[in-house]
Amino acid sequence: MKKVFFTISIIVPLLTSCSSNPITDIIRENLWVNAIQRVIYGYPDFPITRDMVENIPYASIRVKIGKGPAGLMILQKKEDNIYSWVSKDSVIFQIKKGRIIRTSGLTNDLIEYFFDNDLNFKKIIDENLNKAFALEKKDSKYLRDLLNCPAKDASNCNRELIEGTTYLRTTNRMISLSNPEVRALELIVKTAQMGITKITILDREYEVMLIKEITYNRKIDWVNQNFFWVDPQTGKVRKSIQQIAPNLPPILIEVTKLPSE
């Protein structure tokens, strides 16, 4: 089977026809950018550091698609609670409340996301925090079984594995994809709160709530699992693994620098 690798280049916003672009000028002034451009292609996970991120005066995310190399994207704009992130090669992600709702520049883009009644992560945590347990207190087999719970047996997995937490209601969403062209594909979504854990992003540790979505459409036999590591105090997603289309690998996103409010 032929392996396909996806690359997100080092960040830079879409260039305009103007001779001077303030964001571009700032990036050019950082000497590390040229070094990243030399090695980002063909080398997995260039060691992006906290200092690199802090030297860019814009919010940023680290993105890795499948087994391709990771790179940074920066915040281009925020509008109606939708955050638009852009890479050097003009790949764009639009993210709303931690979920990818639109993409541009991939081999198969998510072009519509609608009729959704997605659960609010902060509300999930507030309503169920007293029932949550620390994942570290469970043995490795329990955690492995929980993460690998067969999506086709979602209801049984929730009954048998999510002990002491919650099994949340089923919701729906509709999506459209570009390649192959798919319009108004309905997805059934089951959501479970999986417990409290800790993650590290660029040398900073965060205590988060792990929330799992199981999405499926029986007509095309697509079953998928998305994971969200959510700050229990703010409801903001610090890290996620999402698959937006059947023919695309999972997308890993880590928030390296939060947007200002």
> How many structural domains are present in the chain?
1
Residue 157 domain flag? yes
Predicted confidence (pLDDT) at residue 41 exceeds the cutoff of 50: no
What would the pLDDT profile of 96-110 be if each residue is shown by its tens digit?
999 999 999 999 999
- List the CATH number of the domain containing 87: 2.40.360.10
Predicted confidence (pLDDT) at residue 249 exceeds the cutoff of 80: yes
Residue 8 domain flag? no
Residue 84 domain flag? yes
Residue 17 domain flag? no
CB contact at 8 A, 66 and 4: yes
Residue 59 domain flag? yes
Residue 129 domain flag? yes
CA atoms within 13 A on the CB side of 64: 19
Residue 13 domain flag? no
Output phi, psi for 128, to 5 deg: -130, 10
Q: Which residue has the tokens 């990771």?
A: 70
* pLDDT reported for residue 72: 92
If pLDDT is split at 50, 70 and 90, which confidence band does 4 have? very low
Strands (E), the chain: 60-65, 71-79, 82-86, 92-96, 99-104, 110-114, 166-178, 181-201, 204-217, 222-230, 237-242, 251-257
Task: Provide the domain limits for residue 225.
Answer: 22-257
Q: How far apart are CA 157 and CA 146, in angstroms?
A: 8
Q: Are strands 204-217 and 181-201 parallel, antiparallel or unpaired?
A: antiparallel
* pLDDT reported for residue 231: 96
- Average pLDDT for residues 190-197, to the nearest whole number? 86
